[in-house]
Structures are given as structure tokens and as C-alpha cells.
Amino acid sequence: MSSEWQPIKTAPMNGTEILIADRERVVKAEWAEISRGTWAWIVGYLQDFDGSPKTPLYIEIEPTHWMPLPEPPLA
């Protein structure tokens, strides 16, 4: 898999965490369903203490490019 920026139309839309970018920012995100039939780029989740389902956190972004997450540094 390439570690270079790629067009967003080629991004994985299967829940894989990736970096996405628009003209202003780069964020770690995954493509996921935020409500029945509504999909968006998710940047994280809120977990309620009572054990109810996680609430997705999303931002309004129209990314133009994506790239895989880099490997973490060795300890």
C-alpha cells in the first residue's frame, strides 16, 4: 500500500482508520454509518458510562485526499 497521498475516491470505506485531508486540515478518520443510512467520516466515538452504544464524533469535511496511517515508532 502506498504511503503517499491518494485521491479520496480510492479511500477504503470499510471502517479502516486512515488520514484524510482537505485544503485546511488533516485528520485521522474512518468511513462509517452515523445513523441508519447516513454515512460520514468519523473522527472518534463517545462512550457513555452506562454502557449504551458509542456515539460517533464526526466533522463536516469534504476531503480531497487520503493516505494510510504511518507505522508507530519502535519502542
DSSP for 45-71, please give it. EE--TT-PPPEEEE-----SEEEEPPP
Does some domain include residue 75?
Answer: no
**Average pLDDT per consecutive 10 residues, the chain (75 residues; last block may be shorter):** 87 94 94 87 83 79 94 87
- Which residue(s) pair with 50 in the sheet? none
Single pTM value for the model: 0.81
Q: In terms of residue numbers, what domain contains 36?
A: 8-68
Is 58 domain-assigned? yes
Q: Are 42 and 29 in contact (CB under 8 A)?
A: yes
What is the pLDDT, as a whole number, of residue 1? 59
Cα–Cα distance for residue pair 70/53, rounded to 1 Å: 29
| 1 found inside a domain | no
